Amino acid sequence: DTEVTQTPKHLVMGMTNKKSLKCEQHMGHRAMYWYKQKAKKPPELMFVYSYEKLSINESVPSRFSPECPNSSLLNLHLHALQPEDSALYLCASSPTAFYEAFFGQGTRLTVV
């Protein structure tokens, strides 16, 4: 299984809502990432988990809260988002940090 599975695929939420994005991999990878991608732009790194511990937070606003419950799962909790947070959120994993990364299909988030 060489897949990274993200749910949901699409999400529309209001600015007062709380929602979570989920990411799952069963490749035994020990590094997992959240990226944000705006249209026609490259993916921007948000968070890196290495061996289930948060190793990098790229100065992401606190309304985004990552969680790694175990080595296969990665969540991104969303609260009080702004319309400018609308984007494609990509999860990725790699055997160790920054080797070949496998990306999920992403969650397309719209904040209204």
C-alpha to C-alpha distance for 94 and 87, rounded to whole angstroms? 23
Closer to other proteins by CB, 85 or 106: give it. Answer: 106
> Does residue 103 interact with other proteins by CB under 8 A?
yes
Beta-strand ranges (E) seen in the chain are 4-7, 10-13, 18-25, 31-37, 44-50, 53-57, 64-70, 73-79, 87-94, 102-103, 107-111
> Does residue 102 interact with other proteins by CB under 8 A?
yes
- Only segment of 18-26, 65-73, 79-87, 100-108 that touches other proteins (CB under 8 A): 100-108
> Does residue 27 interact with other proteins by CB under 8 A?
no
Closer to other proteins by CB, 19 or 102: give it. Answer: 102
85 vs 3, 15, 64, 88, CA distance in Å? 26, 10, 10, 9
Provide Rg for the chain, Cα atoms. Answer: 13
Q: Which of residues 49-88 bind other proteins (CB under 8 A)?
A: 50, 55-56, 58
Closer to other proteins by CB, 18 or 38: give it. Answer: 38
Return residues touching other proteins (CB under 8 A).
4, 31, 40-45, 48, 50, 55-56, 58, 90, 97-106
